[in-house]
A and B are shown apart, each in its own frame.
Chain A
Amino acid sequence: MNGLAVLSKAMFQERKDIILSILGGFIAGIAGVALFSASGYMISQTVFAPPLYTLILLTSMVKLLGLLRAASRYGERLYSHQATFSMLSRLRTSFFAKLIPLTPGILNKNRSGDLLARIVGDVESLQNYFLRVAYPPIMVVMVFLATVLFTSAISFWIAVLFILGMLVTAFVVPGIVLLGQRKINGRVREQRALLSTEVTEVLYGFRDLKVYGQLAQREGQLQQASAVLAAEQQRAAGHLLRGQSMHALVTFLISWGVLALGAYLIMDGALAGVFLAMLIMASLTVFEEAAAMATLPAYKEDSEHAAKRLTETVQSTEVLSPQRGGVLPVDHAISIELSGVTFQYEGEWRPALRDISLHISPGSKTAIVGASGSGKSTIIELLLKLRAPTAGDIRLSGLSVNELDETSIWQAANVVLQQSHFFRGTIRDNLLLDGEEHSDDQLSEVLTKVQLPDKSLTDMVYEKGENLSDGEKQRLALARAMLRKGRLWLLDEPTSSLDYVTEQHVLKQLYAQAAKDTLILICHRLAGLEEMDRIVVIDQGKVVETGSYWELMEQKGYFYEMKNIERQMIGEVAHI
């Protein structure tokens, strides 16, 4: 679904606030025009020396109009902002709903952080669409039409002039500005992204660049990119400025036209002279309402760009196969069968997994080991149906993953991902993510099992678990998994930040609970693997060895050598 369509829907849902703000804006606009027209008219009237009370009446009216204008402006601002923020909430929820089925599919391996931040930013720039893009033309047209209606009672031709002015300011000038806008803005964005990437690169590579004596050259490149960016930005701003000046000139020309036409009509006897000052005042004021039109092109381009990107993001992987209704039974341990599974991340040049075939019998304990980047974690994502294999078939308890409903797999699995996410809230909130009922005693018991007896259930966890150490996060994630009742354990380096002793304590508890379940443990530390039924060694997406710890050590193959290297490790590898 289109980004702007989502937006229109949100706008429609906030119609009450929108109508109120349009009403407020309209009254304010009209009151302004009336106020200045009235003062022009009043001054003209003095030439005829009218009785004083008419004047007092007029001036009181002017003041009342002034107050009315200020008050309805207040209302306009209040309701329009209220509507904007409500729309933001709707936009966020609807895009979140759209992203649920697409994650993690849309997350490229490297740039997921950028993508998420971009989605947040784009949704936020969409919220401006109503206030800065959709709203101003409505206002201009309404206030102008009211003014035209009023002036047409005085002079047909002047009314025509107003209509002309409205068309030019509301459509022609913004149209002209928009024409060049897109291209220029595209260039600015490109140049900015380029500079940003280059600055980041230099900062990350600072040490190497310095040693290679490349810093001076790099600085030259950066300075040049920066100068180009400033020049492009100046061009873009200059373009907008030209639009604004054009807008100002048109308003002057219309006022001038009112004067010239009015003078001609008065000479001609078609218009009473007393209205001239009033009409001029009206023409000067009515364009004040159109001031927001001058910034419209910039916002329009921005929010449309955001909408386009959001649409692309949301649509990029809509080829996901529909969920089948198959349910994974959890009354017994689950067997896993991978046959010829290959997986390649989008945009990567080589597959993360190549032709993997594995049979994991129910109730067995398997460790998957290999260098970082060898494709271990991808296996877990495939088992959880978070991603679909490029080729090959995966079966859980004999049922093809394609046929299974993804939620039934998730319910059957106790998962610890490499990067567990924690939310703002208490420890209890974070433990009870799945919404199941557990007594506080149970929760405390689990905390003790994962060697976190000091944590209280009411302790606060900050966003992304910022106030927890890596080790604490891992233990909490383990606790979270241990509270579930699944029969399949999928653990991706669940203890990599724990010291050896704690790791062994925690794993012992976990193995006790998982005694009858199928368990897959991904690890890059090779200690403690003696207890596993089988070890699968992966290198560059391929299975190079499988067997029990002793078998593999006997073979003196890949695993044996890895083990030897690990024995050599000293210092920070494992803080004992």
Chain B
Amino acid sequence: MKRNRKSGLISGQMSSQRKNMTLLAVISLALGAAIVSQAGLLAEAVQRVFVERASFSSVIVLLGLLLVVMVVRTLLSYGNGKIGLRMAAAAKTNMRAAVLQNLTHATMPSTLRGQTGGKVSIALDAVDEADSYFSQYMPRMMEAAMIPILILVVTFILHANTGFIMLFTAPFIPLFMILVGLKTKNKSEEKYAQLAEFSGTFLDSLQGLVTLKIFGRAHRQQQEIERSSLGYRDATMGILKIAFTNTFMLESIVMLSIGIVALELAIQLLVFKSMTFHTAFFVLLLVPEFYSLLKNTGTAFHSGRTSMGAVRKVEGMLQETTGESRDTNGNEGAGTSDGIKSEIFHPDDLSRLPSIELDNLRFRYAPDSFELETGRISLGPGEHIAIVGKSGSGKTTLLHLIAGLLKPASGTVLVNGIPLSQYDETAWFQQVSYITQHPYIFAGTLADNIAIGAGGNITRAEIERAAEEAGLAALTAQLEHGLDTIVGEGGRGLSGGEKQRLALARAFLKRPLLILFDEPTVGLDLHTERVLQRSIAKLAKTATMITVAHRLYTIQQADKILFMDNGVLVDSGRHNELLERLPQYAEMVDVQRKGGLSS
């Protein structure tokens, strides 16, 4: 995993696009030649027509040549643009591929850290913003590196004085460009908070419109929007004024330079008579090309910098998770990383109800968060385990560790006496069902959504039976297309209870050996509650089940209760045992009951 210190991503992309870069350089050189030839031919034509008063037919060849050069010039810059686009497309695809791979291969901690919106934005917006680095900045920079020098050389050959004027004034352009950038950047950072405040008001007001209406303040808020928009205008104009002033200076320099060149040419022509009209006009045509190229460079530089910012965001995200994914690879791979050849265990090893041992697991999400500690505990095959604790005590984290969704920092999860990390991941997950409070419903038919629970070779009848067992029959009967109804994004909305039942149907289809169950806390309808209790009991007959429990009923029935407090697995045992020996546990169960019964 070699990574350059500075913008490894871009240099990586660049090295893979060396061919395109060479092509860019060649075309830029040819483009420079075309620009110079165009000016030369124009000057020559005017010289012949105007000074030498040649006949029209004698310039026809010249005109034809000029036309060809103009078309070639257009084609060349089109070609450069095309290459830029090709590079951008390839770079974006590669970068996005890396981001997507990173997202899909991420370990649980990085996905749990949330910020889904931010990640989607990196995969889409940041990668798209990187576009202009390849499609604009690179071709322009290549052109800027070749053509002005070419023009300068030609000018020096034609008329050294002009060359000196250009050489002297040219550095001011990038200098001012950088100044503009720096100054506006400082200023805008200074005003950033103010700008954010102003620009947020509109969205803020739209989001609060219902509240505003009810409190009769909607129309007053309209004035507030106007005030803040105008405030935004004034703050932004303050920044822009600096930028515009600098551009003004810059353009003045360019204009004055061209003026000086013209004056110098005129004096040479008239006073010293040391120059032909042809040369003078040639130079006069070349000079604006020179400056406008430099100016374009400035604009390209600006967009290049914005792109770089976006690329850095992508890099930041990739780097953040590199360590984790390497860790995962090391654990999942066939032991190549540590040189020990270990066997991968296959589904046959998982054909019986699993016993699970937690051997001093330790885990922590971030240096500043609490550390999870389990000590040593074993869970027998077919046992029903309840994990109990206050919210934030690490119950779900423990469940993830047992499932193999998280890798412990130290310690091992042993399944049937073999470390979980030595099992083939796919084979392991084939035996596991994880029923969460918010099951994932993807866009597709109800049947597809249920079938995701099992591998291939599922008959329609099996799906129907699973749906029935999970209490979905009443729902499908209501639907015009039954199990073929499209649900999820763009499809029919399902209620929380229906989603929960769908998750159960998946488990019924899969018939796993291990069920991990995050018991729903609130807001289920009675029907789903009943289905849930009945179905879970049925599923659990043929499986080892571990539940993050929120219902007294569940923990009373459990073979073993794991009590978590602030990340630490404090104690385990049956309900009555814990009630007796663990005051915190007794308090938790008791207080809850009081609250429920209340006054």
| Assembly CA distance A267 to B529 (angstroms) | 98
Partner of B119, one of A203, A211, A565: A203
Check A85 against B288 for contact (C-beta < 8 Å).
no
Among B177-185, B358-366, B409-417, B488-496, which stretch is in contact with chain A?
Answer: B488-496
Asked if A403 CB lies within 8 Å of chain B CBs, one says no
Check B85 against A199 for contact (C-beta < 8 Å).
no
Q: Which residues of A contact B230 (CB under 8 A)?
A: 85-86, 89
Check A77 against B247 for contact (C-beta < 8 Å).
yes
Residues from 207 to 221 in A contacting B, C-beta threshold 8 Å: 207-216, 218-219
Check A49 against B270 for contact (C-beta < 8 Å).
yes
Asked if A141 CB lies within 8 Å of chain B CBs, one says no
Residues from 370 to 427 in A contacting B, C-beta threshold 8 Å: 370-374, 384, 386, 407, 410-411, 413, 415, 417, 420-424
A509-531 to B contact mask, C-beta < 8 Å, 1/0: 00000000000000011011010
Partner of A259, one of B66, B240, B591: B66
Check A59 against B266 for contact (C-beta < 8 Å).
yes
Q: Which residues of A contact B90 (CB under 8 A)?
A: 230
Closest to B230 in A: A89
Q: Which residues of A contact B218 (CB under 8 A)?
A: 100
B155 CB, min distance to chain A CBs, angstroms: 15
Q: Interface centre among B208, B389, B405, by most A CB within 10 Å?
A: B208
Number of interface residues of A (CB under 8 A): 160
Q: A215-B104, A226-B97, A259-B63 are in contact. Are A566 and B596 (CB under 8 A)?
A: yes
Partner of B53, one of A231, A264, A273: A273
| Assembly CA distance A376 to B429 (angstroms) | 39
| Assembly CA distance A93 to B92 (angstroms) | 38
Q: Which residues of B contact A364 (CB under 8 A)?
A: none
Q: Which residues of A contact B153 (CB under 8 A)?
A: none
| Assembly CA distance A201 to B255 (angstroms) | 55
Check B56 against A35 for contact (C-beta < 8 Å).
no
Q: Which residues of A contact B489 (CB under 8 A)?
A: 197, 201
Q: Interface centre among A90, A117, A527, A567, by most B CB within 10 Å?
A: A567
Q: A70-B248, A213-B430 are in contact. Are A226 and B96 (CB under 8 A)?
A: yes
Check B210 against A417 for contact (C-beta < 8 Å).
yes
Among B14-22, B220-228, B312-320, which stretch is in contact with chain A?
Answer: B220-228
Q: Which residues of B contact A208 (CB under 8 A)?
A: 434, 436, 439-440
Asked if B433 CB lies within 8 Å of chain A CBs, one says yes
Partner of B217, one of A433, A525, A566, A576: A433
Check B211 against A421 for contact (C-beta < 8 Å).
yes
Residues from 52 to 78 in B contacting A, C-beta threshold 8 Å: 53, 55-56, 59, 63, 66-67, 70-71, 73-75, 77-78
| Assembly CA distance A528 to B594 (angstroms) | 12
B443 CB, min distance to chain A CBs, angstroms: 7
Partner of A116, one of B81, B203, B440: B203
Partner of A201, one of B101, B207, B251, B442: B442
Check A242 against B78 for contact (C-beta < 8 Å).
yes
Closest to B92 in A: A230
Check B551 against A423 for contact (C-beta < 8 Å).
no
| Assembly CA distance A216 to B104 (angstroms) | 8
Asked if A196 CB lies within 8 Å of chain B CBs, one says yes
Q: A59-B263, A241-B82 are in contact. Are A196 and B120 (CB under 8 A)?
A: yes
B495 CB, min distance to chain A CBs, angstroms: 4
Q: Which residues of B contact A260 (CB under 8 A)?
A: 63
Check B131 against A203 for contact (C-beta < 8 Å).
no
Q: A199-B124, A245-B74 are in contact. Are A565 and B551 (CB under 8 A)?
A: yes
| Assembly CA distance A46 to B270 (angstroms) | 6
Q: Which residues of A contact B116 (CB under 8 A)?
A: 200, 203-204
Partner of B244, one of A77, A99, A284: A77
B481 CB, min distance to chain A CBs, angstroms: 11
| Assembly CA distance A85 to B234 (angstroms) | 9
Check A407 against B216 for contact (C-beta < 8 Å).
yes
Check A226 against B429 for contact (C-beta < 8 Å).
no
Asked if A23 CB lies within 8 Å of chain B CBs, one says no
Asked if B329 CB lies within 8 Å of chain A CBs, one says no
Q: A234-B86, A421-B207, A567-B593 are in contact. Are A70 and B93 (CB under 8 A)?
A: no
| Assembly CA distance A553 to B553 (angstroms) | 20
Asked if A153 CB lies within 8 Å of chain B CBs, one says no
Partner of B281, one of A43, A200, A288: A43
Q: Which residues of A contact B71 (CB under 8 A)?
A: 249, 252
Q: Which residues of A contact B598 (CB under 8 A)?
A: 500, 527-528, 530
Q: Which residues of B contact A506 (CB under 8 A)?
A: none
Residues from 464 to 511 in B contacting A, C-beta threshold 8 Å: 478, 489, 492-493, 495-497, 506
A120 CB, min distance to chain B CBs, angstroms: 5
Check B497 against A93 for contact (C-beta < 8 Å).
no
Among B41-49, B346-354, B538-546, which stretch is in contact with chain A?
Answer: B41-49
Task: State the main secondary structure of chain A at its contact with B.
Answer: helix
Q: Which residues of A contact B49 (CB under 8 A)?
A: 262-263, 266-267, 273, 276
Check A63 against B259 for contact (C-beta < 8 Å).
yes
Asked if A192 CB lies within 8 Å of chain B CBs, one says yes
Closest to B244 in A: A77
A298 CB, min distance to chain B CBs, angstroms: 13
Q: Which residues of B contact A331 (CB under 8 A)?
A: none
B195-219 to A contact mask, C-beta < 8 Å, 1/0: 0010011111111111111111111
Asked if B595 CB lies within 8 Å of chain A CBs, one says yes
Q: A230-B92, A434-B215 are in contact. Are A39 and B549 (CB under 8 A)?
A: no
Residues from 57 to 76 in A contacting B, C-beta threshold 8 Å: 58-59, 62-63, 65-67, 69-71, 73-74
B445 CB, min distance to chain A CBs, angstroms: 14
Asked if B232 CB lies within 8 Å of chain A CBs, one says yes
Asked if B108 CB lies within 8 Å of chain A CBs, one says yes
Asked if B597 CB lies within 8 Å of chain A CBs, one says yes
Q: A202-B104, A349-B492 are in contact. Are A99 and B209 (CB under 8 A)?
A: yes
Check A85 against B213 for contact (C-beta < 8 Å).
no
Partner of B248, one of A74, A280, A373: A74
Residues from 511 to 569 in A contacting B, C-beta threshold 8 Å: 524-525, 527-528, 530, 539-540, 558, 561-562, 565-569
Q: Interface centre among B38, B124, B207, B506, by most A CB within 10 Å?
A: B207
| Assembly CA distance A433 to B209 (angstroms) | 12
Q: A222-B100, A424-B197, A524-B523 are in contact. Are A201 and B592 (CB under 8 A)?
A: no
Check A85 against B63 for contact (C-beta < 8 Å).
no
Asked if B325 CB lies within 8 Å of chain A CBs, one says no
B205 CB, min distance to chain A CBs, angstroms: 6
B320 CB, min distance to chain A CBs, angstroms: 15
| Assembly CA distance A303 to B42 (angstroms) | 41
Asked if A334 CB lies within 8 Å of chain B CBs, one says no
Asked if B385 CB lies within 8 Å of chain A CBs, one says no
B589 CB, min distance to chain A CBs, angstroms: 6
Partner of B103, one of A202, A415, A417: A202
| Assembly CA distance A538 to B62 (angstroms) | 89
A72-99 to B contact mask, C-beta < 8 Å, 1/0: 0110011001100110111011001101
Check B496 against A372 for contact (C-beta < 8 Å).
yes
Asked if B522 CB lies within 8 Å of chain A CBs, one says yes
Partner of A252, one of B70, B241, B280: B70
A125 CB, min distance to chain B CBs, angstroms: 14
B87 CB, min distance to chain A CBs, angstroms: 10
Q: Which residues of A contact B379 (CB under 8 A)?
A: none
B101 CB, min distance to chain A CBs, angstroms: 7
A279 CB, min distance to chain B CBs, angstroms: 10
Check A277 against B436 for contact (C-beta < 8 Å).
no
Some 24 contacts from A to B, beta carbons below 8 A apart, are A47-B277, A58-B266, A59-B266, A62-B263, A63-B259, A73-B247, A73-B248, A74-B248, A97-B219, A104-B209, A123-B202, A208-B436, A212-B429, A213-B426, A215-B105, A226-B93, A252-B73, A262-B49, A273-B49, A373-B497, A421-B208, A561-B529, A571-B389, A575-B390
Other 8 A-B pairs with CB < 8 A, given A244-B81, A256-B70: A62-B258, A200-B116, A219-B105, A222-B104, A234-B89, A274-B50, A285-B288, A372-B523
What are the 5 A-B residue pairs with the smallest beta carbon separation, nearest first? A66-B255, A205-B440, A421-B208, A89-B229, A572-B391
